[in-house]
Amino acid sequence: MNRLKKLWREGKPAVGAFLSIPSGLSAEAMAHTGVDWLCLDMQHGCLDYSDVVPMLTAISTTAVVPLVRVPWNEPSMIMKVLDAGAYGVIVPMVSNRAEAERAVAACRYPPAGIRSNGPNRAVYYGGADYQKGADGEMLCIAMIETAEGIAKMDEIISTPGLDAVYIGPTDLALSLGLAPVMDNDEPKHVATVNKILETCRKHKVKAAMHTASAKYTQRFIDQGFDMVMLVNDRMAMSNYVKAEVGKLTGWKPGA
Ligand code: 3PY
Ligand code: MG
């Protein structure tokens, strides 16, 4: 059973993190932090398929829901990460209905979609009859972050079978002619984010937002987002060590 879907059925938001470091150990460590979900980032993280499989295994030692952001809207990789045990995919840069339908179809077995049979690792949590319930459990999450996607948000968000829409704030900013900063307060950015959330509400699709801080994670939870990303592993590590280094007195880095 997909615990993310359970949280949503209970009306609860889910908080998670992105993993960009190719390590089973850091995936396991992050899975023990209290987050609801972890997303292995194959788009911008340093992860290949051979990294993703042991990281999914490491996350499976906990109840945390494993997701994968695939590098692109490409059915073969979507199917491979679902076979390897992801409970859903985040698909970047979905710009129109046809692209959203392509992503959804790759996540669903026939007759609903085109997913090919071969759930090699997924059977270990799904059981021998994994295929029976898989279409209802695997999350297909499309990112809206391109200029075309912003213009066509209604046709994307209303795509049958799409579970959620995930906002990529920095690509969204670039698409709006703004600087690619996270936790963005530019009025044009805020208005676009609000409009995506509203459109998700209209079509009863879950809305997900990416942040770089607890302050903005809290803000988006309070605003009604169903899924919010709090932190990524690389930033967590470097921010923590930088802060600790900064607390030392009588010592300067490299001095
Ligand atoms: C973006 O900010 O564009 C993202 O995709 C977040 O990783
Ligand atoms: Mg992006």
**Given a cut of 90, is residue 151 above it in pLDDT?**
yes
Give the whole-number percent of the chain exceeding pLDDT 90: 95
Only one residue has tokens 């972050």, namely 145
* Residue having the nearest C-alpha atom to atom 7 of ligand 1: 168
Chain segment 58-81, per-residue pLDDT in tens: 999 999 999 999 999 999 999 999
Closest protein CA for atom 1 of ligand 1: 168
**Banded model confidence at residue 40, pLDDT cuts 50, 70, 90:** very high
Residues with CB under 6 A from ligand 1: 44, 145, 168-171, 210
- Give residue 63 CA to ligand 1 midpoint distance, Å: 26
Q: Which amino acid is at 179?
A: A
> In a mutational test of the pocket of ligand 1, which residue from 68, 69, 144, 210 has the highest number of ligand atoms less than 8 Å from its CB?
210
CA of 247 to the centre of ligand 2 (A): 33
The C-alpha torsion from 231 through 237 and 242 to 247, rounded to 10°, is: 100
Compute the half-sphere exposure of residue 45: CA atoms within 13 Å on the CB side of its CA: 26
Q: What is the per-residue pLDDT for 255?
A: 66
Does residue 17 sit in helix, strand or coil? strand
CA of 145 to the centre of ligand 2 (A): 6
Q: Give the position, in ligand 1's atom list, of the atom nearest the Cα of 182.
A: 2
Q: d(Cα 170, Cα 216) in Å, to the nearest integer? A: 14
Residue 251, pLDDT score: 87
The model's confidence at residue 47, banded by pLDDT at 50, 70 and 90, is very high
Instruction: Give the whole-angstrom CA distance, residue 142 versus residue 94.
Output: 6
The protein residue whose alpha carbon is closest to atom 4 in ligand 1 is 168
Residue the block writes with tokens 């297909």: 140
Domains of the chain: 3-235 (3.20.20.60)
**Closest C-alpha residue for ligand 1 atom 5:** 168
Cα(121) to ligand 2 centroid in Å equals 28
Catalytic (active-site) positions: 44
Q: Which two tokens stand for residue 150?
A: 């912003």
